C-alpha cells in the first residue's frame, strides 16, 4: 500500500470517528398519554368495600387463581403449552431477534468475501503470432494463474443511518414481545369466559330438566284429577304445553353446550370431543373474590401489552425517519482487497506474490433531493400516525376497563335481586301446588307460578354468569399484569425442537427471550 493511499485511508477513518456520534432524525420519547386520575366507573360508583374494589395494586398471583377452580387453572396451563396462535406469536419474537441481528451486522463491513481460483490458458499451435512469440521464448503454449484473496467493503455510518435501523429493529423486537403478551392476555380471558359459558349452559340444562320433572309431576296430577272430575281438559292442555315447552328448550341448550366444548378445544388447539368428559357434569360456577384489586389508571399504561405494543411501534417508526434523512447526505465507504497471485500453487505464497488495493470513496444522490425529502415526509407522517394510534389505544383501554367495571357492578346488583326472586318463586310454586291439590286454587295459577320459577332461575343463572364474565373482562381490560408460571422461552419444547432440527439457531433459540406481562 502506497503512502498516499494510507493517508487517504486515515483521513476517511478520522472523519468517520469525528462524525460517528452524529445521528440525524429525532430521538424517540414515550408519547404523552391521556391522563385519567381515577376510575369513575361511568356510573358514578365509588371504590370502597361496598363495591368490592380497591385501588391496591394487583399482586403477582395470576388473576384466574382468584376463582379457586382447579379445572380452569388446568385448562389455562395446558393452553399456554400448546395453543398454536400463541406459539406463532412466540415464533415471531424469535424472528424479530434474528432481524435485529441482521441490522446490527450492518455496522461492520457489509462485504466480506474470501475468493480464490485457478486459470489455465492454452494457445493454438497454428496461430502464427503465437508461434513467433514461442520461438523467441516470450510465451509458452499455455499460461497458468493461481490466486487467493480477501475483499471487503464498508459503508461508514457517518450519519447514523445504520444505527437508526438498529434502533428500529430493537423496538420491533420489543413490539413483538408485547404482541405475544397481548395474545397471552386474550387467550387467558377467552378460556375463562368460555369456561364460564360451559358452566352456565350446564346449569341451564340441569334447571330445565328439574323444572320439566316438576311440571311432569303436575301434569300427571292434573290428568288424575281429570279422571276424577276435579279438573278440566283445559287444565291438562295447559300443563302439557308448559311441560313440552320446557323440554323443547333443552336441545337448544345442549347444542350451545356442545359448541362451547368445541370452542374450548380450539383454544387448547386439540381436536374436539374430549372436553365434555374432562369437564364432567359439575355445573358450579367458579367463585368470584370478595375484593378485586384494580389499582389506579396509571398502572394501566405500564401493564397493558397493547399499549406497550403501540409505543414500540411508534419507536420503530421514529427511527425510520433518521434512516430516510441519512439519504440526504453523502455516504462514505471504504473498499479494498488483498491477496496473492502466482503462476503455480507452489509459488502462491512466495516473495512478490502479494497484490491488493484500497479505495476510499463517497457517493451522494444530490440530484434526487425531491424524492428523498418526500420519503422523509412519508416516514414522518407514518410516525405521526403511530402517535395517534398510541393515544387511541390508551383511550380504548380506559373505556374497556370503565365498561367492564360498570357491567360487573350492575350484574352483581342484578344477581342479588334475582336470588330474592328465585326464592320467592320457589315458595310460590310450593304454596300454589298445595292450594291446587286442596281445590282452593285454579290450575292457571300453578302454570303461572311454574313459568315464573323457570324464568327466574334462568335469569339468575345468566346473571351469575355475567358477574363472572364481566369480572374476567375487568382483569382482561387491566392487561393481565401477571406472569404465568409456566411460560418459558415463548415457544413449546416441541416447537423449539422442530426449529433446531432445521436450522442452527444457537443460543438464540436455547435461551428464554423476554418476560410476559
Output the CA–CA distances (angstroms, integers) from residue 208 to 103, 241, 293, in the order listed: 63, 14, 37
Do β-strands 354-363 and 331-342 pair in parallel, antiparallel, or remain unpaired? antiparallel
Each residue's pLDDT tens digit, 349-398:
777 778 877 878 888 888 888 899 999 999 999 999 999 999 999 999 99
| Mean per-residue pLDDT over the chain, rounded | 84
pLDDT at 473: 93
Distance CA 85, CA 87 (A): 5
Q: Greatest CA separation found in the chain? A: 143
> What is the Cα–Cα distance from 155 to 328, expressed in whole angstroms?
15
* pLDDT greater at residue 473 or residue 135: 473
CA nearest to 331, candidates 97, 16, 1, 69: 16
**What is the b/e burial string over 62-76, where b = at least 16 CB atoms within 10 angstroms of the residue's CB?**
bbbebbebeebeebb
Q: Where is 336: in which H helix or E strand?
A: strand 331-342
The rounded distance, in Å, linking the Cα atoms of 93 and 181 is: 11
Q: What is the mean pLDDT of residues 96-100?
A: 91
Mean pLDDT of 317-322: 96
What's 41's DSSP letter? T
With the CA atoms of 179, 74, 71 and 254 taken in that order, what torsion angle do they form, in degrees rounded to the nearest 10? Answer: 60
* pLDDT tens figures, 474-515: 989 888 655 544 455 688 888 888 888 899 888 888 655 444
Q: How far apart are CA 250 and CA 504, in angstroms?
A: 56
Lowest mean pLDDT among 59-73, 120-134, 245-259, 484-498: 120-134
Q: What is the pLDDT of residues 111-126, one digit of tens each?
A: 777 887 777 766 555 5
pLDDT score of 14: 47
Which residue in 139, 33, 122, 1 sits closest to 390, CA to CA? 33
Residue 7's pLDDT band (cuts 50, 70, 90) = very low
Kindly give, in sequence order, each residue whose CB lies less than 8 Å from that of residue 117, ignoring residues fewer than 6 positions away.
146, 147
User: pLDDT tens across 153-209, in order?
Assistant: 778 888 999 999 999 999 999 999 999 999 999 999 999 999 999 999 999 999 999
Confidence of residue 59 (pLDDT cuts 50, 70, 90): low
Of 18-22, 70-74, 191-195, 269-273, which range is least confident?
18-22
Q: What is the arithmetic mean of pLDDT over 458-465?
A: 96
Q: Of 422, 482, 432, whose CA–CA distance to 455 is shortest? A: 422
> Which among 28-37, 140-149, 197-206, 290-299 has the top mean pLDDT?
197-206
Percentage of the chain exceeding pLDDT 70: 83
pLDDT band at 139 (very low <50, low <70, confident <90, very high): low
Least confident of 33-42, 306-315, 359-368: 33-42
The pTM of the whole model exceeds 0.85: no
pLDDT for 12: 46
pLDDT at 394: 93
Question: Quick one: DSSP state of residue 26?
Answer: P
pLDDT higher than 90, residue 266: yes
Amino acid at each position: 500500500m502506497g503512502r498516499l493511499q494510507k493517508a487517504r485511508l486515515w483521513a476517511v477513518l478520522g472523519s468517520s470517528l469525528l462524525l460517528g456520534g452524529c445521528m440525524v432524525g429525532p430521538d424517540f420519547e414515550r408519547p404523552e398519554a391521556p391522563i385519567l386520575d381515577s376510575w369513575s366507573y361511568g356510573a358514578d360508583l365509588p371504590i370502597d368495600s361496598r363495591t368490592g374494589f380497591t385501588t391496591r395494586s394487583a399482586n403477582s398471583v395470576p388473576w384466574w387463581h382468584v376463582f379457586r377452580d382447579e379445572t380452569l387453572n388446568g385448562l389455562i396451563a395446558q393452553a399456554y403449552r400448546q395453543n398454536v396462535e400463541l406459539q406463532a406469536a412466540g415464533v415471531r419474537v424469535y424472528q424479530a431477534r434474528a432481524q435485529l441481528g441482521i441490522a446490527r451486522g450492518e455496522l461492520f463491513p457489509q462485504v466480506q468475501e474470501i475468493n480464490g481460483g485457478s486459470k489455465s490458458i492454452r494457445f493454438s499451435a497454428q496461430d502464427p503470432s503465437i508461434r513467433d512469440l514461442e520461438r523467441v521464448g516470450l510465451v509458452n503454449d499455455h499460461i497458468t494463474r493461481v490466486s487467493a484473496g480477501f475483499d471487503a467493503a464498508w459503508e461508514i455510518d457517518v450519519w447514523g443511518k445504520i444505527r437508526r435501523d438498529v434502533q428500529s429493529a430493537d423496538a420491533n423486537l420489543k413490539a413483538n414481545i408485547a404482541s405475544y403478551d397481548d395474545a397471552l392476555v386474550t387467550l387467558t380471558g377467552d378460556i375463562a369466559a368460555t369456561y364460564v359459558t360451559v358452566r352456565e349452559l350446564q346449569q341451564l340444562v340441569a334447571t330445565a330438566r328439574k323444572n320439566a320433572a316438576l311440571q311432569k309431576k303436575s301434569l300427571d296430577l292434573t290428568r288424575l284429577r281429570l279422571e276424577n272430575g276435579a279438573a278440566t281438559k283445559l287444565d291438562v292442555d295447559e300443563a302439557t304445553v308448559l311441560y313440552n315447552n320446557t323440554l323443547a328448550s333443552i336441545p337448544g341448550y345442549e347444542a350451545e353446550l356442545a359448541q362451547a366444548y368445541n370452542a374450548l378445544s380450539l383454544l387448547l388447539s386439540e381436536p374436539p370431543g374430549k372436553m365434555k368428559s374432562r369437564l364432567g357434569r359439575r355445573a358450579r360456577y367458579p367463585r368470584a373474590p370478595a375484593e378485586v384489586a384494580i389499582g389506579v389508571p396509571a398502572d394501566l399504561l405500564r401493564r397493558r401489552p397493547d399499549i406497550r405494543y403501540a409505543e414500540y411501534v411508534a419507536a420503530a417508526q421514529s427511527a425510520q425517519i433518521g434512516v430516510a434523512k441519512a439519504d440526504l447526505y453523502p455516504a462514505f465507504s471504504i473498499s479494498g482487497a488483498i491477496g496473492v497471485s502466482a503462476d503455480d500453487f507452489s509459488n502462491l505464497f512466495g516473495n512478490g506474490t502479494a497484490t491488493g488495493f484500497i479505495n476510499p470513496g463517497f457517493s451522494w444522490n444530490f440530484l434526487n433531493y425531491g424524492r428523498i425529502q418526500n420519503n422523509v415526509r412519508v416516514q414522518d407522517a407514518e410516525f405521526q400516525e403511530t402517535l395517534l394510534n398510541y393515544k387511541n389505544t390508551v383511550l380504548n383501554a380506559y373505556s374497556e376497563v370503565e365498561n367492564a367495571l360498570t357491567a360487573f357492578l350492575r350484574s352483581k346488583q342484578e344477581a342479588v335481586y334475582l336470588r330474592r326472586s328465585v326464592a320467592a318463586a320457589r315458595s310460590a310454586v310450593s304454596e300454589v301446588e298445595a292450594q291446587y291439590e286442596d281445590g282452593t286454587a285454579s290450575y292457571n295459577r300453578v302454570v303461572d307460578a311454574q313459568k315464573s320459577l323457570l324464568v327466574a332461575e334462568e335469569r339468575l343463572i345468566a346473571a351469575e354468569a355475567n358477574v363472572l364474565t364481566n369480572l374476567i373482562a375487568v382483569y382482561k381490560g387491566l392487561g393481565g399484569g401477571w406472569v404465568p408460571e409456566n411460560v418459558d422461552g415463548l415457544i413449546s419444547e416441541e416447537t423449539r425442537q422442530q426449529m433446531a432440527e432445521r436450522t442452527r439457531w444457537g443460543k438464540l433459540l436455547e435461551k428464554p427471550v423476554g418476560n410476559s406481562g
